[in-house]
Structure 1
Amino acid sequence: MYRKGYIVFYSCNKGEIVTRSRKFEIEEGQYFYVGSCGRSCSDRISRHMRKCKNKFWHVDYLTDLCTPLGSLILPMEEREIVKMFKGLRVIHRFGNGDDRESEGHLFLGRMKDIIILVLEKVSVK
């Protein structure tokens, strides 16, 4: 089954995100999270755009410190999208439990700059 990937952008306050098993230090700034979805992209993204009562994934904890800004759905696998951002500052081991090839799936980066980068690298067919 072909899976699509997505990016959700956040504006975050400084603080700690404490999940069930880890603690992450977040600086003030704009961040973006890379994930994957099948047929339910809208359900997955809408979950990331609101505070979750039943937190399961690392990204569910982001709304404790962060305000969602927007999202992109891309015709690419999650791991392909993450590779586009090699060299950008990443929050180590955040959201990459099923992708041990990458350092993490939460990056520090301004929404405007990331959208421009994605548009330069992704060709629409």
Structure 2
Amino acid sequence: MPKITDQVSDSGIYLLEIVVPDDFYTEIKKYEGRKFPKGFYYYAGSAQKNMRKRLERHLKKNKNIYWHIDYLTSRFNIGKIFYFNNCGKEFECDLVADLIEKFGLIPAAPGFGNSDCNRCDSHLLYSEAPLDYSHFISRYQSIARFIPSSNDTF
């Protein structure tokens, strides 16, 4: 499990990698009866204040379910976290668009995690395989920071 460090600023954008080992159904009424395939889910989020606390909350398994993403993070492990310190909210949608266009991720569920966004179909993206991390880090090297899972060895 990733460990949040003091290098995470108070505000910014983050990308959670959620590792899903088996197909699943969710308790979210909007997606009732919809089968989600096993694989890697990437959730782009914004925290314009208290980003460290937001990321720590995402890592907790036992929590009150408040956001759509809570249904996944309370059930499945977060593999990696990428964060972008002090980036404005508009970068969240730029990141989603880039992940779709340049990395081939696909929107996982219409309206998931983007109730305050008119630009994106979803802020939850899906891939059968993990991101090409070296390509991702290379593309965003000047602004991206990475919190590895405890399973990563670098």
TM normalised by structure 1 equals 0.82
Matched, 1:84 2:98: yes
Matched, 1:100 2:118: yes
Q: Could you tell me how far apart the structure 1 residues matched to 2:130 and 2:14 are?
A: 13
Matched, 1:6 2:14: yes
Which residue in the other structure is 2:27 paired with?
18
- State the aligned residue count: 122
- Counterpart of 1:81, as a letter, is L
Distance 1:14-1:64 versus aligned 2 partners, 3 A rule: farther
Q: Could you tell me how far apart the structure 1 residues matched to 2:135 and 2:57 are?
A: 25
* Cα displacement (A) at 1:27: 0.7
Unaligned runs of 5+ in 2: 1-10, 144-154
TM normalised by structure 2 equals 0.68
Instruction: Report if aligned partners of 2:15, 2:82 keep a CA contact under 8 Å in 1.
Output: yes
Q: State the identity %.
A: 23
Matched, 1:28 2:38: yes
Q: Could you tell me how far apart the structure 2 residues matched to 1:80 and 1:123 are?
A: 16
> Is the partner of 1:86 in helix, strand or coil?
helix
> Is the partner of 1:36 in helix, strand or coil?
strand
Unaligned runs of 5+ in 1: none
Structure with greater strand percent: 1
Instruction: Report if aligned partners of 1:11, 1:66 keep a CA contact under 8 Å in 2.
Output: yes
